[in-house]
Chain A
Amino acid sequence: MAFLEMIDIVKRYPGVLANDHVDLEVSKGEIHAVMGENGAGKSTLMAILYGLQSPDEGYIRIDWKTVFFRSPIDAIEHGIGMVHQSFKLFESLSVWENVVYGREPRRGPFIDAAASRRQVAALAERHGLPIDPMARVGSLPVGVRQRLEILKALYRQVRVLILDEPTAVLTPGEVAGLFRVLRTLAAGGCTILLVTHKLNEVMAVSDRITVLRDGRVTERLLTAQTNAAQIVRAMTGRNVLLDVASANPHPGAVRLELKRLVVGGLGRRAVNDVSFTLRGGEVLGIAGVAGNGQSELVEAIMGMRPCAGGNIVLNGHDITLRSIAQRRAAGVSYIAEDRIRTASAAAASATDNLAFGFHRRPPIAVRGLLRISEMRAWARTLIRKFEIKIASEMTPVGTLSGGNLQKIVIARELAHDAPVLIAEQPTRGVDVGAIEFIHSELMRERDRGHAILLVSAELSEILALADRILVMYEGRVIAALDRAEANESILGLYMAGGEQQAS
């Protein structure tokens, strides 16, 4: 029955066994999910299947024939296609040009544009992928670009389609659309490999699941016969509390107030007339598809981006024109979305990273001079308290996994004990175990009476943690809901810009 087999795959990197005798078996026309935490080896396995890496041991069989891929060109030749997490498209070209690129229908030395357009339109039609072949890619929304990536693969006659975290950038409505497309493709005999860590999606769309942990297969499951808890156990090796029970909030005094905030952007306003209040002891969630002004909003609150209008009041002080340092001193700390580019210095030690922001006052600094032993003791305390896995406090943080680096950032920002915490995508790209830890830390902050502004593109996170929810779309807040009235489908509707009603 097996159409695609990866047999006894071993891949070593310096110091890491990324794939440790992995077997993967997929039938024709199946939707097969490959799951695992970050670093479990799923990306490596897919990179081998797509010819980006060659295995140290083991081999691949397609349709009972053993194949060797030296590069993706070989893999494509054998009907394997991949939709990467970050799309590989020419934004300045049209849809049809992107699709036929490299295999253009020709007439003499020229590209036969008319035939190309016709073929692309027919292909899209046949697979139920609505798309305008003439549209310029740069103007298309993310969901449509993904459709285009799938179309590209289909044009090259894929038999096996690999999708790497395909739903990370989609609204719930777009996710549902994608799943419809995947089912149609599978029904037509295309084999689909879905790399993801999202449990509900796997449960919704896949036929079978292979779970990896530490480079090894820990479980092979039939989706119909399993449940989320069993998958998580296979991924983490232990029982994980999936929902942090959030007790009823006890909102206190207003900590942060935005009054008609406007932030400029390229061509249009990135943040357009946003107002809200945030009280102590509550979590205000900001939902929205990435790129609808959330980052700009947060950066404006922190002073990393200028405001074009409106006011920001923090703990009773108007901070609209204050510096970043003054805002932090007034009582706000910030878990930035990009922990590598913004919230840490990769080549610096954990000590240097954890002490930043505490380096101008006792006990770490006295009269402008650092006390190195205090600094290291401080770092050791935080490392222990947040259970950060690191060789020593002098190790550069760039060597850490996503979850551990995020813990460094969170440990430092929570240590400020500021009454307002801005958490921007606090669990993006971290493993399930760390997510649980981070969520419970955030809830503890809330229960201590601190105010939390939680920006997240993960609806499950917003629904699990937030007491109130705002939805941002194209720079505006288009909906304000209590958690009790919110669910995935309502939020999904707003996230797609539906029902543009004022809050």
Chain B
Amino acid sequence: MSLTTEVALTHISRRASSLLPLLSAVIVGFTVCGLIAKAVGLSPLLMLTELIKGAVQGPQLFETIARAVPLTGMALAAAIPLRAGIVNLGADGQMVLGGCAAAIIALYLPAPDIVRLLVALLIGAGIGGAYAALAAAGEILANVPLLLSTWLLSYPARGLCGWLVRSPLRDPITAWPSTHRISAGVRLANLIPGTPINQGFLLVALAAVLIVFLDRRSSVGYELRLRGLNERFARYGGVALSRQTTWLMFVSGAMAGLVGAIMILGSQFRFTDGALTAPQYTWSGVLAALLAGGEPLGTVVAAVLFAALQTGGFAMERSVEIPRVLTMVLESIIILFLSMRGAIWRRGR
């Protein structure tokens, strides 16, 4: 084995085992944003304090948690396949299908409220999963790259749901194309009165704990991890890659579908065209998963951090008129800096 591979390997293991790079990336990100703020005549210190206050002070903390719920869910949806080296870019479509299906069942299933709620969650997850598995089938049977199929399949899903709420399911009294309002009994209950935190928080937290546990302790998680490190090795050892890809995509899509259902049943109460995708949880989630290299616990941490940055950014813009786009710059710099490190380090040797 050549020396360069050895250096690269120790580099990878060091990267995985240390928080230092993440920390330094965050510091560099804040520094650069501070400099930008200063350059345009804003106070960097003010920016920082407003950002932190906006993320965690008083009721803002609940805003952050409420935002972290769907963001973490979507981050996990991206992280599950990424752990095995597979990218799901179609979580938008899977989430929208899940949300739309959940709304339809919550509105029209002839059954008691609690049954309607549970079935809505289950079907929402199931349909998102099935739709993602379709992309897997495309790769296995026809060699369509998942990167492409997941992403492109997102559009027909969104288009279909948009059409549904425009004509057959439309609530005529709303300005936006959306379904009727889901009755109170079929909603996810509020957990802390006066805050936007509902039972969806518990569902996502449960999913996160389960995923972290399975990743670390189960045979299945072990196979995923080794596949992510060397797919050829996994195959050589007897892992049925196609079957694994299929159920992996199903679980990933189900997670996205569940997030869609949670948002409909927990906070939006009706399916409105474009409302689920507008906050771009999918893409923040993909970034969080990439940042952690698919490792679930790291993904959760990154997702919560992004949620805090985003709510902090909104608050900062409202209170001191520092544009929120600076927080997006911050996010980007952190990620760019982390991806760049490899090259810098290698040259240093």
Q: Which residues of A approach B to under 8 Å, CB–CB?
A: 13-14, 302, 304, 323-325, 328, 334, 336, 340-348, 352, 355-357, 359-360, 365, 368-370, 372, 396, 398-399, 401-402, 405
Q: CA of A360 to CA of B9 in the docked complex: distance in angstroms?
A: 28
Q: CA of A214 to CA of B1 in the docked complex: distance in angstroms?
A: 16
- Chain A nearest Cβ from B83, distance in angstroms: 13
Q: Please, could you name 17 A-B residue pairs with CB atoms under 8 Å apart, sorted by A?
A: A304-B235, A324-B235, A324-B238, A325-B239, A325-B240, A336-B236, A340-B1, A345-B230, A346-B229, A356-B226, A357-B237, A359-B222, A369-B219, A370-B217, A370-B218, A396-B10, A398-B6
Contacts of B7 in A (CB 8 A): 14
Q: Is B3 an interface residue (CB 8 A)?
A: yes
Which of B9, B218, B219, B238 is the one whose CB lies under 8 Å from A399?
A: B9
Which of A328, A342, A344, A359 is the one whose CB lies under 8 Å from B223?
A: A359
Q: CA of A355 to CA of B225 in the docked complex: distance in angstroms?
A: 13
Contacts of A346 in B (CB 8 A): 5, 9, 229-230
Which of A357, A372, A405 is the one whose CB lies under 8 Å from B238?
A: A357
Q: CA of A328 to CA of B223 in the docked complex: distance in angstroms?
A: 16
Query: What 0/1 readout, one digit per residue, does chain B (1-41) give for beta carbons within 8 Å of chain A?
Result: 10101110110110010000000000000000000000000
Residue of B nearest to A13 (CB): B3
Q: CA of A399 to CA of B5 in the docked complex: distance in angstroms?
A: 9
| Contact in complex: A341, B232 (CB < 8 Å) | yes
Q: CA of A398 to CA of B16 in the docked complex: distance in angstroms?
A: 15
Contacts of B176 in A (CB 8 A): none
Contacts of B1 in A (CB 8 A): 340, 398, 401-402, 405
Contacts of A399 in B (CB 8 A): 6, 9-10
Q: A325-B238, A340-B1 given as contacts; is B219 within 8 A of A359 (CB)?
A: yes
Q: CA of A323 to CA of B233 in the docked complex: distance in angstroms?
A: 15
Contacts of B144 in A (CB 8 A): none
Contacts of B229 in A (CB 8 A): 345-348
Residue of B nearest to A398 (CB): B9
Q: Is B220 an interface residue (CB 8 A)?
A: yes
Which of A336, A347, A365 is the one whose CB lies under 8 Å from B12?
A: A347
Residue of A nearest to B230 (CB): A345
Q: A370-B217, A370-B222, A398-B6 given as contacts; is B12 within 8 A of A342 (CB)?
A: no
Q: CA of A365 to CA of B9 in the docked complex: distance in angstroms?
A: 28
- Chain A nearest Cβ from B242, distance in angstroms: 10
The 3 closest A-B pairs by CB, nearest first: A325-B238, A398-B9, A345-B229
| Contact in complex: B226, A348 (CB < 8 Å) | yes
Residue of B nearest to A327 (CB): B238
Q: CA of A359 to CA of B225 in the docked complex: distance in angstroms?
A: 13
Contacts of B225 in A (CB 8 A): 348, 352
Which of B6, B230, B240 is the one whose CB lies under 8 Å from A344?
A: B230
- Chain B nearest Cβ from A88, distance in angstroms: 16
Q: CA of A337 to CA of B1 in the docked complex: distance in angstroms?
A: 14
Q: CA of A471 to CA of B9 in the docked complex: distance in angstroms?
A: 38
Q: A345-B229, A402-B1 given as contacts; is B236 within 8 A of A365 (CB)?
A: no
Contacts of B238 in A (CB 8 A): 323-325, 328, 357
Q: A340-B1, A345-B229, A356-B226 given as contacts; is B10 within 8 A of A365 (CB)?
A: no
